[in-house]
Amino acid sequence: MEHSNTLTNPTGGEAPWRGTMQPALEINLMEQILCPGHLHRAWKQVKSNKGAPGIDGMGLKDFPDHARLHWDEIRQSLRDGTYQPSPVRRVVIPKPGGKGERLLGVPTVIDRVIQQAILQILTPMFDPEFSDSSYGSMPLK
């Protein structure tokens, strides 16, 4: 009795989905993330979320001036792989109903913009792969 499943065949048997896959190395994700249009959209989203300053004390209103002065070096460090996110500012917030407290980490505004830009590029790539019953980490639609 011979059993062969082309989807799990270790020798790379034929499967209908193989023809639609793109090799990951053909896409320069970092350049997509650093595209000015994506970064502007990421900034708008971070700004609309409001939020407190991170450990560096820089608020949302200070970010545009800071970005104009330092964005070239931040972009280059992201391209080089040398960018280091800042530590998060720890804040203790009360749980609903007065049932204790929980720790919240507040990233810097620049780190939130970078994280949002990454999210905007990766979500469309991976969102179709989620099961219809996987709601734990998917954004509400």
72-113 pLDDT, tens digit each: 999 999 999 999 999 999 999 998 888 899 999 999 999 999
The whole-model pTM stands at 0.72
Residue 15 covered by a domain: no
Rg (CA), the chain: 21
Tokens standing for residue 47: 């700004």
Residue 19 covered by a domain: no
Residue 65 covered by a domain: yes
Determine the length of the chain. 141
How many folded domains does the chain comprise? 1
